[in-house]
Structure 1
Amino acid sequence: MMRNQLVEKIEQRRKQLKISLENLAKLSQLGMRTVNRFFAGDDVKLSTVESITNILGLDFAGNEVVPFEQLQKNRAHQKAQFMASLVQSTSALEMQGLEKEVLEKMIAGFEQAFLSGEYKKRLWVA
């Protein structure tokens, strides 16, 4: 496969997930300049390709490894856990830590909000 074809496949997946280049750089822990060089078709390290493709649920050849829906669910769950941990930390400071059931409901609510609710546009924001 030609480099241009690989970059195009990865670009299509990025657009499908609606991840900006800036957020892709942050999520993959790469510099913006490096990400721009990759999408311009310039030479980059294999570790750069691996970082970008891992975030997008692809392999080195640009083939889907993690289905689109599962990738979104995984990301929503990660963000929901983070949001719930913020609430849990605040509650713990007030000596009122949340019970497990309440915490699980909160996580489920945040997941739903990231997948189809008010936070949907922020799913891939780093």
Structure 2
Amino acid sequence: MKRLDLINQIIARKEQLGITIENLAKLSGVGVRTINRLLKNEDVKLSTIEHVTNFLGLDFAGNEQVSIQALKKHRAHEKALFLASVVQGTSALEMQGLEDDSLNTIIAAYEKEFLSGSYKDTLWVA
């Protein structure tokens, strides 16, 4: 696969996920200017391409390694864990920490909201 084909695969995957350049940069650990250079097919380090393709679930040839659905589920789980940890941390400070079953119920509810509920538009916000 030519480099331009890989860039086109990266752009297509970015659009399929509905992720902005700014959030792609933050979540993949690459600078915004570097992402812009990559998408314009300008020179960037191979490690940059690796960070971006890994984050998007692609290999160096642009082949899908992780499905869109799996990427979304993983991201929803990450965000749900973060929110639940904030709730649990605050509750623990007040000596009212949640039991594991209750905490898992909250995590599942957050995941559902990120995947199909009112928060689905914030799934890829860093």
Normalising by structure 2, we get a TM-score of: 0.98
Q: How many residues align?
A: 126
CA RMSD of aligned residues (A): 0.6
Structure 2, unpaired ranges of 5+: none
Deviation of 1:54 (Å): 1.1
- 1:55-112 Cα distance to aligned partner (Å, 9 max, x none): 1111111110001111111110111000100000100110111100000000000000
Normalising by structure 1, we get a TM-score of: 0.98
Structure 2 counterpart of 1:83, one-letter code: L
Structure 1, unpaired ranges of 5+: none
Structure 2 counterpart of 1:81, one-letter code: L
SS in 2 for 1:95: coil
Moved over 6 A (4+): none
1:86 corresponds to which residue?
86
1:54 corresponds to which residue?
54
Distance 2:44 2:66 in 1: 24
Deviation of 1:23 (Å): 0.2
**Matches for 1:1-126 after TM superposition, within 5 Å:** 1-126=1-126
Distance 1:110 1:54 in 2: 25
State the identity %: 60
